[in-house]
Amino acid sequence: MSDKDNDGDTRAVPGNRRARLGQFGRLAGGLAGGVMAEGARRLAEGKRPRLNELLLTPGNVGRVADRLSELRGAAMKLGQMVSMDAGDVLPPELAQIMARLRENAHSMPPKQLEAVLAKDWGNGWRREFKYFNPRPLAAASIGQVHRAKTRDGRDLAIKVQYPGVRESIDADVDNVATLLRVSGMLPRHLDIAPLLGEAKQQLHEEADYQREARQMRAYGELLAGESEYIVPGFHADLTTTNVLAMDFVPGRSIDTLEHEPQEVRDAMMERLVALVLRELFDFGLMQTDPNFANYRISDDGEKLVLLDFGAAREVSPHITESYRRLLAAGLAEDHEAIAEAAIAAGFLSRHTADAHRANLDRIIAVIVNELGKPGDFDFGDRSFVKTVREEGMAIAQDKAAWHLPPAEMLFAQRKISGTALLAARMKARIDIRSMVEAKLAGLPSR
């Protein structure tokens, strides 16, 4: 089977470790070529290039993005996390390139798809279906989704996992970590082993579609009877570790909200923010992947359709309490309490708070000022981000200040930050302060 099918959108997934390692080898070779070309150009201009600057050129970042997109699996998933979590921090040219990883991946060629389904459903699987569209509705990092209708009349969305993804998770994570190390993006003293271990565990969980089905059912029960949200039901008879069968829910991309009136955008984003607050403080369960493709708008434009529960995780009491303290300090506009709550939560190290207090105070001041304004918070107004970025970059010059929060905190914050990015894209205006005040007031005292 060739790498590419006749359809330019399809590309076979490297199905074993040797093939995937070869892809990483070709990526390393491409990066080396890019470094040499860029280094020669800068030397010709009389400049003295630094290695990390040569590695992080738009050309090399593009090579990384394209290769991770071809690999799919954990490699692409980690790239998506970096591109999403970077938010406004990446330079625009790099952010644009990394955004490729948030778009649909290449899909499997039909022969590879057929082989995967035959392995899990048996060779006669097509007899169970009146219709199965071989062209996917969507292709992402771990699997692709197909529309199908069974002979007994069920209208389904079938998620099929790419071959070799589960077996390659640990090696992919280690290879991506090596790329980050070599690029100079991570200081040598920073211990990322605990985070890598958590990333591997979460990715193994996401690759278990039986587990995702259970999480989908849990969300369905939590939101049962509510008219504002739709959680698809799953079909146990067709669900395996590699194939997830769920209700097909008609709808449209959440991106289409950009063209709706302000009040429509505001209402839908308020609904999403309210859900995140409930996940954090009420449910004890959070879907931690904020990829925009995980949300859709129902055909009637009234409901938020929730998809992809592979990244759903329990929210520990420690996480809930950490955010309660941080938000309470923010509402009180107590700068000292905000800094202490951020240290206690693990967002900051004591060294950073002590050595860079002036920078930290300016970051806190601008955020408190924005969130403390009466009325709606305008997510579309990003003017304050420049100050946060500049002060953050000043702190980042001190590599001793580089600090990784606990992994469970990172996963929760990723959902919160990703939700804020989506609200910014929609230019939503929401009375966040009132929502947070109401939620904290409803918590039992501790």
In a domain, 187, yes or no: no
Assess if residue 8 is contained within a domain. Answer: no
> pLDDT band at residue 61, thresholds of 50, 70 and 90?
low
- Total domain count, the chain: 3
289: annotated active-site residue = yes
Mean pLDDT of 315-321: 96
**Is residue 423 predicted with pLDDT exceeding 90?**
yes
Scored b (16 or more CB within 10 A) or e, 34-46 reads: bbeebbeeeeeee
Q: Both tokens of residue 164? A: 């070799």
Residues 127 and 64 in one domain: no
CATH of the domain at 121: 3.30.200.20
Asked which of 225, 248, 271 is the last residue of a domain, the reply is 248
Q: Each residue of 146-187: pLDDT tens digit?
A: 999 999 999 999 999 988 888 878 877 777 677 666 655 555
**Do 295 and 429 sit in the same domain of this protein?**
yes
CA distance readout (Å), 13 to 106, 134, 334, 376: 9, 16, 52, 46
Please compute Rg for the chain using Cα positions: 23
Q: What pLDDT was estimated at residue 99?
A: 53
pLDDT of residue 10: 58
Of 219, 248, 288, the residue nearest 159 (C-alpha): 248
Mark whether 412 and 439 lie in a shared domain: yes
Q: What is the pLDDT of residue 232?
A: 97
pLDDT at 42: 39
DSSP string, 70-99: HH-HHHHHHHHHHHHHHTT-S-HHHHHHHG
Domain identity same for 263 and 391? yes
Q: What is the pLDDT of residue 33?
A: 43
Catalytic residue among 5, 172, 266, 289: 289
pLDDT of residue 282: 95
Q: Which residue has the higher pLDDT, 55 or 317?
A: 317
Same-domain status, 287 and 317 = yes
**pLDDT average, residue stretch 22-36:** 44
**Structural domain boundaries, residue 62:** 17-104+169-182
pLDDT, tens digit, 9 for 90 and up, residues 258-307:
999 999 999 999 999 999 999 999 999 999 988 888 999 999 989 999 99
Average pLDDT across the chain, whole number: 79
